[in-house]
Amino acid sequence: MNAEPIDRELVPDEEAVADAAAAEDRRLLERTWKYASGLRGWFAEVDHSKIGVRYIVTALIFFALGGIEALMMRVQLARPENRFLGPDLYNQVFTTHGSTMMFLFAVPMMLGLAVYLVPLMVGTRNLAFPRLNAFSYYIYLIGGLFLYTAFFLNTGPDAGWFAYVPLSGPQFSPGKRVDVWAQMITFTEISSLAVALNLITTIFKQRAPGMSLNRIPLYVWAMLVTSFMVVFAMPAVMLSSLMLALDRLIDTHFFNPAAGGDALLWQHLFWFFGHPEVYIIFIPATGIVSSILAPFTRREVFGYMPLVLSLVATGFIGFGLWVHHMFATGLPQLGASFFTAASIMIAIPTGTQIFCWIATLWGGHLRFKTPLLYVLGFLFTFVIGGLTGVMLAAVPLNLQVHDTFFVVAHFHYVLIGGAVFPLLGGLFYWYPKITGRMLSETWGKISFGLVFVGFQVTFFPQHILGLEGMPRRVYTYLPGTGWGSLNLLSTVGAFILGLGVLVYVLNGLVSLRRGEPAGNDPWGSDTLEWSVSSPPPPYNFQFLPTVSGRSPRWLWHDQHPVITGLRSDRREFLITNLMDAEPDHRQVSPGPTLWPFILSLGVGVTFIVGIFTPWGLPIGAVPVTIALIAWFWPRGDQGHKLLKEKS
């Protein structure tokens, strides 16, 4: 294998274009894979990059809404006994903030980015199930719109994003607020589960020839582990939110202690999902960190195998931690010790990853562009969050700081520092690929500075507030507690952070028109998405690439083989085998169709009517069944061998 790096001009994709036959083939491909157009086309689109961008934009809008809610809370808490938000509105705002950030921003953002990137990174033309992908997006969108419609109608959920029973049960939360929450959860879970299946299948079966398991980019590994965690964690919250909805709607008694139910059952089910959820958000971020490090250090990320094993280990251990959210419920000592041990041990794979990244920095030729700055900000912030996490795993200390602002500080260090910083860095890094233009580096650095400083000023004081006795989820506090000045400081920080995000977003909007054209590969990156034009063509690769190492683009040379023989007159793509990605067979990918959208409407009707009456199920079953049958009805137009003609 020739490991000499090569000039960009020799990339096979571009060279092949010179050939007239190739140009003709390309025209054919463009016609076959053309994006659907018009309003109808918008709802019929099944292309992963189009839908991925929709995911990213939608998630960013929800991020902005969640951020505005955060600022409202910070204003309310800026001084004691403030009257900016009353308790009723405050409870809706903090519940909607948490639910938005977890279910409508973080998870869909991470999955949506993967919807965009994974097919490009593994070298295929679309996700394995393009129509399912479209369905996932619509069902997510419906869930988000539903929550915010309810919020603006003063029916926003107000029992916390964790919705503990009995507070969220029929007796203590009459009205429809909690039902809105439960159904929104169901929508976003269905969406995430569908994306997870899509990603797993795409990563397992559609990798470019030569991309054996030990050559998969670290980002793709991260998404694979994340997808498996989604598959096994999300059913828990689907089941528990179903039980909650039924307790509220048809008087079942799952959580009613007076009739044999148990309030703690909710907590077990919820945290069995809720803790892996944190890793579902964090693990994709580790993949982004690795993706950014390689081009900006000019080195392969150090320790591929330890990093992959750490991801897998995190995925497994992540399911053994849920009880550390429940130490204060009074568990038997032995059980609590087990969960302490598991919670502390997850620091081992996390530490391993951090050491590998630092080693990469040490061995690299650094270029201090904005994405790398976000990675450095991530290291600083996430290490603090990880260490306070170790503290929280200790039962006695947990009993003091659990449900206080110390925990609020901890998980914002982990989720903003650990996931949002890499995400902002990653969006900066992939923005040229998605839009074809560069972001302003100057404004990028300014926004990083504001975000980093604003974040620390907002959340560091909250550690101290928690130790000084300030509980979470309070809409106000007494003046005599002495918490006023640190809270004011935190509020000031929140506005600096908000300004930083605003600068970042404006940079993104302005650069859409004004940015420098990016070219295929502005950063000199190693992974396959940078070998195609920016933005990529609808078919991604004219000739599917082959891969000969972990940093495929740094290993390419003029005799690097490509794949030919896929038909261009229909949406063909290559299926490879699981372990070694050897070519196995060809399949035809479905084109634009409205049925996924219609199905998502049917599911939406089922759940939304289901809030008011159990008849939602039979009412919704009709459109759902029709849409499903129409979706799967074989049309015989995909060029397969016909066993029987249409009669």
Partner 1 sequence: MKRPPSIDVSELPTTAFGQRDPLWWGVTGVMCIEGTMFALMAASYFYLRGGAYVWPPPGVLHPGLGITTLNLAILVLSIVPMHLAAQAAEREDLPKIRLWLAVSTVLFVAFLSIRISIMAHLTFRWDSHAYGSLVWVTVGLHTLHVLTGIVENLMFITVLTRGPVEDKLMDDLRLNSMYWYFVVACWVLFYCIFYLDPGLLGTRGV
Partner 2 sequence: MNAGMNAGMNGIHWIGRHSALHAHGIEAARIGHLWWLMFWVCSTVFVLVMAATGFAITRRPDSTGLPGPVAPRSRLWMTRVVAGAVGLTIVTLFVLLFASVATGRAVASLGAPSAVVIKVTGHQWWWEVEYQDPQPSHIVRTANEIHIPAGRPVLIRLASNDVIHSFWVPSLHGKRDLIPGHDSQLWIEADRPGTYRGFCAEFCGHQHAHMGLLIIADRPDRYAAWYAAQLQTPPPPASPLEQRGRQVVEAAPCALCHTIGGTTASGSLGPDLTHLASRRTLAAATLPNTAANLGAWIVDPQAAKPGNQMPANSLAPGDLQAVVAYLESLR
Please state the separation of Cα 3 from the chain's center in Å. Answer: 34
Q: Which is nearer to partner 1, 251 or 516 (CB)?
A: 251
Q: What residue 524 binds from partner 1, partner 2, none (CB within 5 to 8 A, per partner kind)?
A: partner 2
* Residue 175 in the binding site for partner 1 (CB under 8 A): no
Under 8 Å between Cβ of 370 and 430: no
Under 8 Å between Cβ of 242 and 606: no
Q: What residue 254 binds from partner 1, partner 2, none (CB within 5 to 8 A, per partner kind)?
A: partner 1
Element containing residue 376 per DSSP (H, E):
helix 370-393
Under 8 Å between Cβ of 608 and 146: yes
Q: Which is nearer to partner 2, 142 or 401 (CB)?
A: 401
Q: Which is nearer to partner 1, 355 or 543 (CB)?
A: 543
Distance, CA of 575 to CA of 206 (rounded, Å): 5
320-339 positions binding partner 1, by CB under 8 A: none
To partner 2, the closest distance from the beta carbon of 388 in angstroms equals 8
> How many degrees, rounded to 5, is the angle at CA 453 between CA 349 and CA 486?
100
* Residue 575 in the binding site for partner 1 (CB under 8 A): yes
* Residue 319 in the binding site for partner 1 (CB under 8 A): no
Residue 88: partners with Cβ closer than 8 Å, 6 or more residues away: 158
Size of site (CB under 8 A) for partner 1: 83
Q: What residue 563 binds from partner 1, partner 2, none (CB within 5 to 8 A, per partner kind)?
A: partner 1
* Residue 647 in the binding site for partner 1 (CB under 8 A): yes
> First-to-last CA distance in the chain?
56
Beta pairing class for 572-576 and 583-588: antiparallel
515-574 positions binding partner 1, by CB under 8 A: 543, 546, 558-567, 574
* Residue 268 in the binding site for partner 1 (CB under 8 A): yes
Interface mask (CB under 8 A) for partner 1, residues 212-231, using x and -? Answer: -------------------x
* Residue 197 in the binding site for partner 1 (CB under 8 A): yes
Q: DSSP character for 528?
A: G
**Which residue bears the tokens 């007076």?**
258
Among 28, 89, 167, 246, binds partner 1 (CB under 8 A): 246
Residue 534: partners with Cβ closer than 8 Å, 6 or more residues away: 432, 433, 434, 435, 436, 518, 519, 520
Under 8 Å between Cβ of 100 and 147: yes
Among 162, 181, 204, 483, binds partner 1 (CB under 8 A): 204
**Which residue bears the tokens 């993706």?**
291
CA dist 322 to 10, 235, 387, 390, 582, Å? 51, 15, 18, 14, 40
Q: Which is nearer to partner 1, 260 or 480 (CB)?
A: 260
Among 105, 129, 327, 405, binds partner 1 (CB under 8 A): 129
70-89 positions binding partner 1, by CB under 8 A: none
Among 171, 586, 612, 613, binds partner 1 (CB under 8 A): 586
> How many degrees, rounded to 5, is the angle at CA 112 between CA 546 and CA 538?
50
Among 584, 612, 613, 618, binds partner 1 (CB under 8 A): 584
Q: What residue 559 binds from partner 2, partner 1, none (CB within 5 to 8 A, per partner kind)?
A: partner 1
